[in-house]
Amino acid sequence: MLIYTLRRLLLLPITLFFIVLVNFVIINLAPGDPTTYVEASADGATLQADRSLATAGDDRYLQFREFYGLTLPILWNTWPFLTLNDVKASLWMVAFKHRPAQEQEIPTKEYNQLRTHLGDQSRFIMPHLLTLLNDANALPKIRQTAGQFYARGAMRIGYLGSNLTEAEKQWNANVIRNDQFMRSVLWTKNASAAEIGEKIQKINAWHEKNKGYYELDPSFKEKLYSLFFQTRFIKYMSRVLHLDFGTLRNDSNKSVISEVTKRFKYSLTLSIIPMLMTLILCQIFGFIMAFYRSRWPDYSLNLIFLVLYAIPVFVAAPFLIEKVALHHCFPIINTPIPISGFTSPDRIFNQQSSYQRLFDILQHIAIPVLAIMYGSLAAQSRLSRTAFLEVLRQDYVRTAKAKGLDSFSIYFKHVGRNAAVTIVSSIASSLGLVLGGSLFVEILFDINGFGKFFYDGVINRDYNVIMFSTLAGSFLTLIGYLLADLAYMWLDPRITLD
């Protein structure tokens, strides 16, 4: 068992790596990016693109894309291997808004994407841009556009935070100084030839001085390094290996981990309690249906669970709110049933004792837990019935009855324990939903759990939140399968993991 467990644990990071890889590629290939936002209007919600999307010198846009790694290719960075002709063709299309040898104007959306793409490539094509800048035979518009994108490629992002090292502070100072310099050497179309020549000389001097510091003229070895390591995926994984899952898209002062931690207790409660209750109750109902097979208890419970399984949660939850919770009280204690929140308001909850707080939480989660577990209870109970019927047909059960063992030993030790193997597998596979809770339930009952947090992340195109959810959910699912395998051996001694 020890060797098996170690082997599974060694395979865990490899499996997680490929899960993250596939999801990362899918997310980054999806249309749009975090620079797209949702705008609500009278006609409904529409996606609007940031107007600064294609501006080569827009500092705010550049910082935003740099921060999320959107200026890099996804898996392979072939940009350092672009030829001078490739760069010249791209500059021509940006400068004149049509392709060489064609007079038809490029559509606005495609043109903006082209400018954005060329701006992202600028850092890796600096020698070609400098060559075009110094080409006196090039068209003035091409030289001006090359200067704009050279400035774009020379700009860097500074380090954020209050606890910066001296090296990071020095880097930030260089970034500010160089950005100011790049703004000063750009020229307009009305600039004189002498002014343009002077600015190009300054750019050449800056390039010669900083080409080693910023790797402006990369060697073949440095290009190979960029091919494999200067990518979005590598940049993301390097942060993940340091347990840095990034910050929120809308607030860079809030980390993903801190926001998940705040919500973890809500989603954990709304996942573990229904899971444990389902595990116990499905065994009871499954045994009843199997024991009274083809009789009225079996037919009745089967019909009830079939109907419950067919009702979606977004129908059941509003029904429970309107018909059960509203204007009704808990039996015996005669307390109104809460319909929102995980607890009472802070001004009330903070003044309660520990037992009162526990009772308050139980009152608030009673209806949400019911809304979460009814569907899984229906499915698991029917599965449990099948498992019990299968075990009841086994020879060792008939042998135990023939030996005169009492009913408790037969049905609990022999039947129940072996039938639980199937249920444990199904329950353990849902461990990955611990962080997710129930999206509809959290929204309808105004519970600020992780499911609602993940939904907001998808709507806002917050890559950090989406990727953390994928990583955490996959990790818990794999751990659940491992625990299920270990539980098999404990429940059934005939099963070995060798």
Q: pLDDT digit string (tens) for 249-301?
A: 777 778 888 888 888 788 888 888 888 888 889 888 988 888 888 899 889 99
Q: What is the pLDDT of residue 412?
A: 76
* Tally of domains in the chain: 2
Pick from 186, 216, 241: which residue ends a domain? 241
Are residues 249 and 462 in contact, defined by beta-carbon separation less than 8 angstroms? yes
Is position 281 within any domain? yes
**Residue 414 is part of which domain span?**
256-491
Q: Which of 178, 206, 241 is the last residue of a domain?
A: 241
| Most confident among 7-11, 285-289, 314-318 (mean pLDDT) | 285-289
Is residue 193 domain-shared with residue 237, that is, in the same domain? yes
Asked if residue 285 and residue 197 are part of one domain, the reply reads: no
318: pLDDT strictly greater than 70: yes
pLDDT confidence bin for 452, thresholds 50/70/90: confident
283 and 154: one domain? no
Comparison of pLDDT for 444 and 101, the residue scoring more: 444
**pLDDT over 90 for what percent of the chain?**
15
**Is the distance from CB of 70 to CB of 232 less than 8 angstroms?**
yes
Whether residue 465 sits in one domain with residue 343: yes
Co-location of 312 and 369 in the same domain: yes
What's this model's pTM, rounded to 2 decimal places?
A: 0.75
What's the pLDDT at 277?
87
Is residue 250 assigned to a domain? no
Give the confidence band of 129 by pLDDT, cuts at 50, 70, 90: very high
Residue 54 pLDDT: 36
Query: Which whole number is the average pLDDT over 355-379?
Result: 86
User: b or e along 350-383 (b: 16 or more beta carbons within 10 Å of the residue's beta carbon)?
Assistant: eeeeeeeeeebbebbbbbbbbbbbbbbbbebbbb
Band (131; pLDDT cuts 50, 70, 90)? very high
Q: How confident is the model at residue 224 (pLDDT cuts 50, 70, 90)?
A: very high
pLDDT in tens, 32-70: 665 554 333 333 333 344 333 334 445 556 666 776 678
Q: What integer is the mean pLDDT of 119-131?
A: 91
- Is 5 inside any structural domain? no
236 domain-assigned: yes
Burial of residue 130 (CB within 10 Å: 0-12, 13-18, 19+) is buried
Do 136 and 237 belong together in one domain? yes
Give the lowest-confidence range in 35-44, 158-167, 356-365, 396-405: 35-44
Q: Based on the domain organization, do 230 and 262 belong to the same domain?
A: no
Does residue 78 register a pLDDT over 90?
yes
Q: Which CATH number belongs to the domain containing residue 399 in this structure?
A: 1.10.3720.10
Domain shared by 267 and 183, yes or no: no
Same domain, 307 and 184: no
396 is a domain residue: yes
Could you read off the pLDDT of 387-437 as tens digits, one per residue?
888 888 888 778 888 887 777 777 777 777 777 777 777 666 666 665 555
- Within a domain: residue 19? no
Rounded alpha-carbon distances, angstroms, from residue 453 to 248, 275, 309, 371, 485: 11, 21, 26, 19, 32
Q: What is the pLDDT of residue 47?
A: 36
> Same domain for 78 and 140?
yes
Judgement on whether residues 106 and 188 belong to the same structural domain of the protein: yes
Claim to verify: residue 173 and residue 278 sit in the same structural domain: no
Tell me the HSE value of 294 on the side-chain side, using a 13 A CA sphere: 1
pLDDT at res. 35 = 56
CA distance 420 to 247: 42
Q: What six digits make up the tokens of 224?
A: 């190979």
- Region 331-336: what's the mean pLDDT? 77
